[in-house]
Structure 1
């Protein structure tokens, strides 16, 4: 994934989710092609699970807790299906590529933010799921506004 290129992002909405509604139940699944660099974002009422043996998808959804909205995501490092060394590599790759993934996720759903602009300042947390404690972490990744600004600034400079 390395750097986010909006031209390599394909977005699919699954009913009843549209670019503008609803907020409740909105789930994101981001996958990619290693060979082409293409990113695929599916936004729908449930996650789009693949049969990929590597499980490289990023899943996210909007949650409301005590009146605060949060974009909560998760990635699969290992549930015991990878040894500790392979899990360390997966963890490091996910950490390195998460900014690109979040740019794609936010940019791909930018029309949604025109209806819910307050969500641009909501916190983003990503859960790295692993059986190994050193890779089983919840990490704060800023706000959608940070990712939207980074992409739109670069897009307008071209």
Structure 2
């Protein structure tokens, strides 16, 4: 992808998670600073809700099982802020999602090196909104697409 500036990505591994394990239960919380354009990735057994702001523009992802194997499930909160704000939030999430996925894959690169089969796992994005126009689940490729 090439959009990520690794120097602007900070990665924190919480207790119970190492650079290579576990797979199931591994959760990612990606937040950012609008001022500095820095990205902050927390890898843990629970989402890092302490870093979630009232803007609710974080990216939450986790490894889980599906009928076809392991998948990376990603949740984005488009919200219920009215048609105009929902449209803007949806557009921003869609524009910035490739960068966010690249940050997760890059930030957890040792994990993907030790578990190369996960490079081919499906990424499913849930856009969460009470507005049916924006509430959907979409396939966004595999981690390999974001290296």
1:25 positional shift: 0.8
Look up the match of 1:155. none
State the SS of the aligned residue for 1:55: coil
Look up the match of 1:128. 127
1:52-105 C-alpha deviation (Å, 9 max, x unpaired): 111010000011123511100001111x3x112101100000001000000001
When normalised by structure 2's length, the TM-score is 0.94
Look up the match of 1:63. 64
For residues 119 and 52 of structure 2, the distance between their equivalents in structure 1, rounded to whole angstroms, comes to 32
Structure 1 residue runs of 5 or longer lacking an equivalent are: 149-158
Look up the match of 1:101. 100
State the SS of the aligned residue for 1:74: strand
State the SS of the aligned residue for 2:117: helix
Look up the match of 1:39. 39
Look up the match of 1:30. 30
1:103-136 C-alpha deviation (Å, 9 max, x unpaired): 0011000000122110000010110100111111
Moved over 2 A (4+): none
Paired positions, count: 144
Q: CA RMSD in A?
A: 1.0
Structure 2 residue runs of 5 or longer lacking an equivalent are: none
When normalised by structure 1's length, the TM-score is 0.88
For residues 76 and 67 of structure 1, the distance between their equivalents in structure 2, rounded to whole angstroms, comes to 26
Look up the match of 2:138. 139
For residues 102 and 75 of structure 1, the distance between their equivalents in structure 2, rounded to whole angstroms, comes to 12
For residues 20 and 130 of structure 2, the distance between their equivalents in structure 1, rounded to whole angstroms, comes to 37
User: Which one has a larger percent helix, Structure 1 or Structure 2?
Assistant: 1
For residues 52 and 121 of structure 2, the distance between their equivalents in structure 1, rounded to whole angstroms, comes to 32
Look up the match of 1:152. none
Look up the match of 2:6. 6
